[in-house]
C-alpha cells in the first residue's frame, strides 16, 4: 500500500511526527495553472506584444473609421487576455490560437468576400465618395496663370514629404499630400524672410532633394479642405505655384462643373459622376448594388454563354480527373501489391516522384514539353510533328487532363496501396474458395472494402480539382480563348481561373464584385455536391 504525506505513520498507527520531505513531483502545478516564474514572464511578454499590436491596429482603424473591424479587434483582444490570464481553463488556452486564426483567415475572408459580391468594387470603384471627389478634383491640374510664387522649403517627417511655404505677404503654412496647408506661427525664418524649419520636421539637404526629386515633383499639397481650391506643386524644390483642375466641385449641389465647357456631372446613382450625355468621370466610388453582380453573371449574353461552357467543362474536368487518377492509382497499387514481384520498393519510389514536384512548376515544364514548335513531345517523340497540344480547344483539354493525371496518380497510388494492404487475406481466400474469379473477387470483395476508406478522399479530390488553379493557369492560362466573347475566357478555363481573370484580368479591367459573386456560386455548388456525396458514402458503413 502506498501512503501519502498526509497519511504517514511511525509503524504504531499514529502519525509520524518527523517533518515531511516533498519530492520533485510535488512542485508540478495543477492542470491549467502557470508553472513557475519563467512561464509567467513568457506569458506577460507574449500578451504584451499581442496587446501592443492590437492597440496599434485600434489607432489605425480609428483613423480610417473602420468601426466594425475595430470593435471585433477589441473583442478578440479582450477574449485572448481573459483566456490566458485565468489560472484554469487549460483547453481554452490550447484552442484559442487555432480559433483566432480561423476567425481571421477563414471566417473574416468569407464574410468579406460575401460583402464584396454585393458591391460594385473594381477598377475605379475601390474607395469612398469623398476620396473620389478629391481624386477627380486633383486630376489633370494645370498651373494657374496668375499664381503667386511661394518660397518653398521641403521637410521630412516619418518618411513623408512636407511643404513649408512662405506666401508673398509673409504668411507661413505647412502641409503634405495628405494634409492641407495650415498656418504655422513658430517656424524658423532666415534673413530673407523665408521659413526654413519647424520643430519636429527635418529639412532635406540638397543631396536628399536630388535623391527624392521624383517624389517631390509628384507631390501636390492641397490648399484647403475643398479639393476645388487646388494645390501647390513645385518644379525645382525651392518655389511652389498654385495648380487647379478645370473641374470645380460644388459641395452644396454635390456636382462637378467643367470650367471650360460648362458640362455638369452629377451623382448618377451607380457610384460615379455622370453628365447628361452619359459621360462618366473616373474614378467612382464603391456602393451596394444588391444582386446585380449575380444578375450580370446570368443575363449578360457573352458572359452567360462563356459561364455555361466553363461550368460544364469544370464538372467534366473534375469528374474525369478523379476517375483517371483513381483508376490509374488503383491499377498500379494492385500491380505492385503482388507479393512475388521483385524490386517493388524501387518502383514505388519512382512512381511517387511526380507527387514530389510542385504542381505549378510541373505545369510550366509540361507547357514547354508540349509546345507546338520546339516542344520535346513534337520534335523528339513524334519526329517533328505539328500538333497543337495547347492551342487547339480539344487537344488543350486532353493535355490538361493528361498532365493533371500525371501529377495526381501518385497520391491515389499511395492511398490505394495502404487500403489494399489493410484488407485481410482471409477475405480473398474465402472468395477464392467460393469459386469466384479474380475479377469478381475484386469487384465484390476488394473494391467495396477499398471504397470504405477511399470514398471520402475521392470527394475531397473532386473538390480540389474543381478549383485546380495551378495546372490550368500554368499550362494553358485557360486558353485557347473563346471567339464569341470579349472577355479573356478560354476553352480550358475552370470557374476558379475565370474568377481570377475577372478579378485581376488585364484588358477587361478588374471587377472584384462580379468575381466575388462567382466565388459564392462556386462555394454553393461544391458545398451541395460534397454534402450529397458524403450522404451517399454512409451506405459504405454497412459494408465496413
User: Each residue of 89-125: pLDDT tens digit?
Assistant: 888 888 988 998 898 888 988 999 999 999 999 988 9
pLDDT number for residue 508: 67
> Percent of the chain, pLDDT > 90?
49
Helical spans, DSSP H, in 12-169: 36-63, 67-85, 90-102, 108-116, 129-138
pLDDT number for residue 285: 95
pLDDT number for residue 233: 94
Q: Residue 296 is placed in which grid cell? A: 450580370
pLDDT number for residue 480: 92
Report residue 18 CA to chain centroid gap. 68
Report residue 3 CA to chain centroid gap. 61
Burial of 196 (0-12, 13-18, 19+ CB in 10 A): middle
Do 494 and 313 meet the contact criterion of CB atoms below 8 Å apart?
yes
**Percent of the chain as helix, strand, coil, to the nearest 5:** 55, 10, 35
pLDDT number for residue 5: 46
Q: Residue 428 is placed in which grid cell? A: 480473398
Number of H helices, E strands in the chain: 21, 15
Phi, psi of 267 (to 5 degrees): -65, 115
The residue written with cell numbers 508553472 in the block is: 35
* Sign of the four-CA dihedral 45, 49, 55, 59: positive
User: Each residue of 306-341: pLDDT tens digit?
Assistant: 888 999 999 999 999 999 999 999 999 998 888 778
pLDDT number for residue 532: 85
β partners of residue 490 = 481
Instruction: Spell out, as residue ranges, where the chain has pLDDT lower than 70.
Output: 1-36, 506-508, 538-544
Least Cα distance to 307 among 443, 83, 502, 171 occurs for 502
pLDDT number for residue 14: 53
User: Each residue of 369-405: pLDDT tens digit?
Assistant: 999 999 999 999 999 899 999 999 999 999 999 999 9
Amino acid at each position: 500500500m502506498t501512503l501519502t504525506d498526509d497519511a504517514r505513520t511511525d509503524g504504531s498507527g499514529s502519525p509520524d511526527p518527523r517533518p515531511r520531505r516533498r519530492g520533485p513531483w510535488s512542485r508540478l502545478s495543477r492542470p491549467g495553472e502557470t508553472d513557475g516564474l519563467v512561464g509567467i514572464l513568457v506569458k506577460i511578454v507574449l500578451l504584451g506584444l499581442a496587446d501592443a499590436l492590437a492597440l496599434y491596429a485600434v489607432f489605425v482603424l480609428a483613423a480610417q473609421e473602420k468601426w466594425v473591424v475595430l470593435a471585433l479587434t477589441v473583442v478578440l483582444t479582450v477574449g485572448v487576455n481573459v483566456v490566458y490570464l485565468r489560472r484554469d481553463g487549460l483547453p481554452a488556452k490550447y484552442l484559442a490560437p487555432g480559433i483566432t486564426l480561423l476567425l481571421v483567415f477563414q471566417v473574416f475572408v468569407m464574410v468579406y468576400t460575401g460583402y464584396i459580391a454585393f458591391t460594385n468594387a473594381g477598377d475605379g470603384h475601390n474607395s469612398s465618395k469623398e476620396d473620389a471627389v478629391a481624386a477627380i478634383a486633383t486630376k489633370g491640374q494645370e498651373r494657374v496663370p496668375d499664381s503667386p510664387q511661394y518660397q518653398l522649403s521641403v521637410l521630412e517627417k516619418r518618411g513623408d514629404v512636407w511643404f513649408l511655404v512662405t506666401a508673398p505677404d509673409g504668411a507661413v503654412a505647412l502641409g503634405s499630400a495628405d494634409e492641407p496647408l495650415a498656418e504655422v506661427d513658430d517656424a524658423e525664418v532666415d534673413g530673407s524672410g523665408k521659413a526654413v524649419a519647424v520643430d519636429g520636421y527635418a529639412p532635406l539637404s540638397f543631396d536628399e532633394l536630388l535623391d527624392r526629386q521624383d517624389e517631390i515633383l509628384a507631390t501636390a499639397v492641397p490648399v484647403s479642405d475643398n479639393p476645388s481650391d487646388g494645390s501647390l506643386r513645385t518644379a525645382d524644390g525651392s518655389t511652389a505655384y498654385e495648380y487647379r483642375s478645370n473641374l470645380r466641385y460644388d459641395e452644396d449641389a454635390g456636382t462637378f462643373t467643367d470650367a471650360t465647357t460648362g458640362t455638369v456631372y452629377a451623382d448618377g446613382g451607380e457610384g460615379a459622376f455622370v453628365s447628361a450625355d452619359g459621360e462618366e468621370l473616373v474614378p467612382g466610388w464603391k456602393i451596394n448594388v444588391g444582386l446585380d453582380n449575380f444578375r450580370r453573371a446570368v443575363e449578360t449574353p457573352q458572359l452567360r454563354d462563356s459561364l455555361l461552357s466553363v461550368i460544364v467543362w469544370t464538372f467534366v474536368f473534375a469528374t474525369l480527373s478523379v476517375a483517371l487518377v483513381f483508376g490509374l492509382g488503383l491499377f498500379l497499387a494492385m500491380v505492385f501489391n503482388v507479393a512475388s514481384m521483385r524490386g517493388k520498393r524501387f518502383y514505388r519510389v519512382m512512381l511517387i516522384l511526380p507527387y514530389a514536384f510542385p504542381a505549378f512548376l510541373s505545369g510550366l515544364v509540361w507547357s514547354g514539353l508540349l509546345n507546338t514548335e520546339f516542344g520535346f513531345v513534337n520534335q523528339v517523340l513524334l519526329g517533328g510533328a505539328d500538333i497543337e497540344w495547347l492551342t487547339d480547344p480539344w487537344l488543350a483539354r486532353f493535355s490538361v487532363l493528361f498532365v493533371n493525371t500525371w501529377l495526381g496518380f501518385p497520391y491515389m497510388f499511395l492511398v490505394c496501396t495502404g487500403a489494399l494492404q489493410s484488407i485481410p487475406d482471409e477475405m480473398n481466400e474465402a472468395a477464392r474458395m467460393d469459386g469466384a474469379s479474380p475479377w469478381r473477387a475484386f469487384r465484390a470483395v476488394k473494391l467495396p472494402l477499398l471504397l470504405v476508406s477511399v470514398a471520402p478522399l475521392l470527394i475531397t479530390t473532386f473538390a480540389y480539382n474543381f478549383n485546380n488553379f495551378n495546372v490550368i493557369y500554368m499550362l494553358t492560362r485557360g486558353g485557347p480563348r473563346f471567339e464569341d466573347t470579349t472577355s479573356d475566357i478560354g476553352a480550358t478555363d475552370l470557374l476558379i481561373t475565370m474568377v481570377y481573370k475577372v478579378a485581376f484580368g488585364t484588358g477587361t479591367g478588374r471587377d472584384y464584385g462580379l468575381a466575388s459573386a462567382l466565388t459564392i456560386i462556386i462555394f454553393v455548388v461544391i458545398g451541395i455536391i460534397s454534402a450529397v456525396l458524403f450522404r451517399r458514402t454512409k451506405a459504405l458503413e454497412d459494408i465496413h
